[in-house]
Amino acid sequence: MGGTGVLPFCGEKRKIQLIVSRAPDDVVGTKGHEWAYTIICFFPSAKDPSWRYMVGPDGQVLTAGSGPLKLVPLKAVKSGVICKPLERAVPSGTLVKMYDFKAPRSNVCGELYKKLGEYLIQPAIPLRIIECRKDYQANVMGVTLWDRLGALLKNNELEDECRDGIGVTVELSTGEQVPAEVRVFRLSTKKKGEDVDEFRVGLRALINGQSHAKRGPEFVRAKGVGLEHIAGSMLVTLDCTRLCQQSRNDLFMANRETFRSESALCEELFKELKEQLRGHDALKYLNHKRYEEKVKTAVDDEDGIKAMEDLLAEDPELAELFGGKESGATSSHAPTAGGSLPAKPEQFKGAQFPSFFRRADGSTSVEMEVPRGGIARVAFHTDVRNNYFTRKTNRGTCKFKGDFAPSHHLYNGRLTLACRPPATAVVGTQLATEATITDPKGSGPFTLMLAASVVAPKHKKQPDPREKKEKKSKRGPSRPRIRERDGDPTEPPIEINREPKTNLLEIIINRKAAALEHAKAKRPSAEEAAVEFVFKYGLALLAMSMIDRARETEKWDEDEPDCRKEIGQTVSDLSRVIVPLCLNLPQKLPKAG
């Protein structure tokens, strides 16, 4: 077999590929079998184009004896030294040679290595890349690609809270499990101008360590998860290796690069995964920690805020714009329930294999109530490491037998199961499930018993649209909290966040933004204070206006973080004109007569 995926890139017309292969003796069980070789070629035709492979007069693939063949470069590659491509003899293996291959016109240890690294994240075996072309001689002539995620841990690039792994396991209705691992990276230490590895953020589905589909950081920033402050440095990998072919077909498009989002199985997977991520205490802590790091230098400008409130109080037009029919001082958005924020996770040193799974009282069974259509969580204590259910070797398994199969995650000595009743279960239904935990080393087996009663869900009162409209018309002008900080000149001049603890909106102005420095350079130094005030509160007013309009849309309810991001980008684009618009344009007003 050959690499059929590369055939379209082998030349323009014939797309020729040579394949030479011999299986190892211990695999075949004999030493007499020969090397086999063939050439694959494309035969164009208007009526019947075809791919064909070469055979001998007897119709069989050609052979070349059983002795070692020189098929690969030397093992050792010195800096700047060009190796011959066919130098080292090997007793078995496979050579796939692509003729006139459309490769990047650069050293393969650079651009091609980086591109492969985006997809071969954890290959089953190391991949050695050696540059043998004299036209691309460089200091680096050979590199090895293998376990990029392990290298990140080794290089101390992960947050302490996830160094031992943050793993979750999603149970599918097919009876299959999808282990997932979550990594949160430290804020980038790369110098300006250096590339950031693309595979570090978002969601990746892996089969045998190769990426088959992905989603960007918006997956964890969206309302369903709400981890927007770590979304730009958070990677979630789904191990889909053990899924059957039918499940793979339901999850991935034929190109193996895109999720089949419209499939019921894909929707189920995403729903369960988001539920596990949203309820994970360590991730909630890291999200809040990153927010605090981002705004630690932010301060309030009380004089500026007072001046802007006076402006709104004196101008009925602006007062009306921000939600009130009467002019008056602004008031902050009323805080909504932000949820309790967990404390910093304590250090936990787990064992390689578990010796117990039990409740706080020592029991291994639990009774609970589960709302119809909802979820109930229950936890068991253990002494095993966080990566027990997601690691590559000696991975633990938790198999369920009964009326439902909970998704679960293990972190710092607590196995948390998210119990969801079947969609067909009615109020009063009694459910029971038995969980059995073990591993290849024979730990346990540990048996946990779950008994659940389906109860009526707590219905939230649906607000009357007329009441909502009336409430909006009566409230005073609303605004987010406005703060300023000394950020990097390359960062946007304005950012709109939601503070995790209070859930209040917050506008943060970058006092070191390049656009502000540019505006100050265009005005006399005596006007510096005026330029800063106009820049800061001009942008804030624009953002407030756009936020007030956006809050009335369905997209705000569905994906508020993305709405805030779009507003921030739009207002940032206007930052170059806000100062001349406010300070220069009034001087050009036409005079009467």
pLDDT tens profile 188-221? 655 444 445 667 888 999 998 898 899 988 888 8
Query: Residue with structure tokens 């960062």?
Result: 491
**In the predicted structure, residue 50 carries a pLDDT above the cut 50:** yes
pLDDT of residue 465: 58
pLDDT of residue 312: 67
The residues, ordered by sequence, that sit 6+ positions from 397 with a Cβ below 8 Å of its Cβ are 177, 389, 437, 438, 439
More confident residue, 590 or 249: 249
pLDDT of residue 147: 86
Which pLDDT band, with edges at 50, 70 and 90, does 150 fall under? confident
Question: DSSP letters of 352-411?
Answer: SS-S-EE-TTS-SEEEEEEETTS-EEEEEEE-B-TTTTT-SSS--EEEEEES---EEEEE
Domains of the chain plus CATH, in order, are 1-102 (no CATH), 150-291 (3.30.230), 300-334+480-588 (no CATH), 357-455 (2.60.40.10)
**In the predicted structure, residue 173 carries a pLDDT above the cut 80:** yes
Question: Alpha carbon 399 to chain centroid distance?
Answer: 27
CA angle 325, 329, 330 (to 5 degrees): 85
Percentage of the residues of the chain whose pLDDT score is greater than 70: 87
Instruction: Render pLDDT for 324-341 as a digit per residue (tens, 0 to 9).
Output: 444 334 444 444 445 556
Beta strand pairing status for 62-63 and 50-53? unpaired
pLDDT of residue 218: 86
Tell me what the pLDDT averaged over the chain comes to: 84
Instruction: Render pLDDT for 523-540 as a digit per residue (tens, 0 to 9).
Output: 888 888 888 888 888 888
3-state secondary structure 24-36: CHHHHCCCCCCCE
Query: Which whole number is the average pLDDT over 495-520?
Result: 87
**In the predicted structure, residue 592 carries a pLDDT above the cut 70:** no
More confident residue, 460 or 568: 568
Residue 219's nearest CA partner among 246, 175, 180, 171 is 180
Question: DSSP letters of 505-567?
Answer: EEEEEETT-HHHHHHHHTS-GGGHHHHHHHHHHHHHHHHHHHHHHHTTSHHHHH-HHHHHHHH
Which pLDDT band, with edges at 50, 70 and 90, does 243 fall under? very high
Q: Give the DSSP letter of residue 5.
A: G
Q: Give the DSSP letter of residue 580.
A: I
Which pLDDT band, with edges at 50, 70 and 90, does 481 fall under? confident
pLDDT of residue 334: 43
Residue 501's nearest CA partner among 259, 309, 291 is 291
pLDDT of residue 325: 43
**End-to-end Cα separation, the chain, in angstroms:** 88
Query: Which whole number is the average pLDDT over 559-585?
Result: 86
**In the predicted structure, residue 456 carries a pLDDT above the cut 60:** yes
Query: Which whole number is the average pLDDT over 563-568?
Result: 91
**In the predicted structure, residue 56 carries a pLDDT above the cut 90:** yes
Query: Which whole number is the average pLDDT over 41-62?
Result: 91
Q: Is pTM beyond 0.85 here? A: no
Total Cβ atoms within 10 A of residue 69: 20
pLDDT of residue 466: 56
